[in-house]
Structure 1
Amino acid sequence: MLLTATDAGHIALEFLLADWNILEEYRDWFIILNSRLVGETWYIVELAVPGFPDRWYIQVYDTGECDPNYTFKSPLNGSDGFLDLGNVPEIIGEVLVSERKSR
């Protein structure tokens, strides 16, 4: 495996930012919580917005490609709206609410 756990984490983060069209200036709102090798050919990367319970789980293959069907988990419901998102940039709030509504 030529891909390291760190590489996989950065690839997953870039994938998520691109998937949501999040500008570079908002990159620091996301963190890589975990990146672990599964089997011999792919990683599971866990991403989050610090201070929030929401999590993205993205598969990154040894080719550097991400599975577009990533998993999003949150104990919060999208119908709660922006109640807990008062101190985040609008785009980050929109992403979280949209993900919460769709899952």
Structure 2
Amino acid sequence: MLPHIEVAPENAQQLALDFLVDEWNLSVNDREWLTVITARLIGESWYVVEIGVEGLPDKWAIQVYDTGECDPDYTFVSPIATLDPSEAELMPSAIATMLEAERHTLSSTRV
């Protein structure tokens, strides 16, 4: 079992951002496209950190525990089901690929 540590909001934000960047193998330049929207303490032991792409409604909600670990079963939310090719041209290919894959996953689960 991992030890309990104190995780400050800014640390939770950084841990969540690092997790998402690692999860999608993003470069330092790609990382610049991501921004922390909020970090909320839930109870006494973990945070929910929301990360988005500047100017888009998409967001990832990542749980960061008091152990400093991120839950790999994060939540992706978007009101948009697909990525328009003209929209994709305006961003790095890794960010476009990430959004396209996440939105596709959502669209395949919507009824």
When normalised by structure 1's length, the TM-score is 0.93
**Counterpart contact for 1:82–1:93, Cα < 8 Å:** no
Q: Which residue of 1 aligns with 2:109?
A: none
Give 5+ residue unaligned stretches, structure 1. none
Q: 1:57 to 1:6 in 2, by over 3 A?
A: same
Aligned residues: 102
- Counterpart check, 1:27 vs 2:31: yes
**Is 1:82–1:97's contact at 8 Å kept on the other side of the alignment?**
no
- In 2, distance between residues paired with 1:34 and 1:26? 20
- Give 1:13's aligned residue: 17
Q: C-alpha root-mean-square deviation of aligned residues, in Å?
A: 1.3
Q: Tell me the secondary structure at the aligned position of residue 87 of structure 2.
A: coil
Determine if the alignment matches structure 1 residue 68 to structure 2 residue 72: yes
Does the CA contact (< 8 Å) of 1:46 and 1:57 recur in 2? Answer: yes
Residues 1:90 and 2:93 are matched in the alignment: yes
1-side partners of 2:17 and 2:70: how far apart?
A: 10
Structure 2 counterpart of 1:58:
62
Aligned-residue sequence identity (percent) comes to 42
1:39 equivalent in alignment to 2:9: no
1:26 Cα deviation after fit = 1.5
Where do 5+ consecutive residues of structure 2 fail to align? 107-111
Q: How big is the shift at 1:2? A: 1.2
Q: Which residue of 1 aligns with 2:103?
A: 100
Q: Give 1:25 deviation, angstroms.
A: 2.2
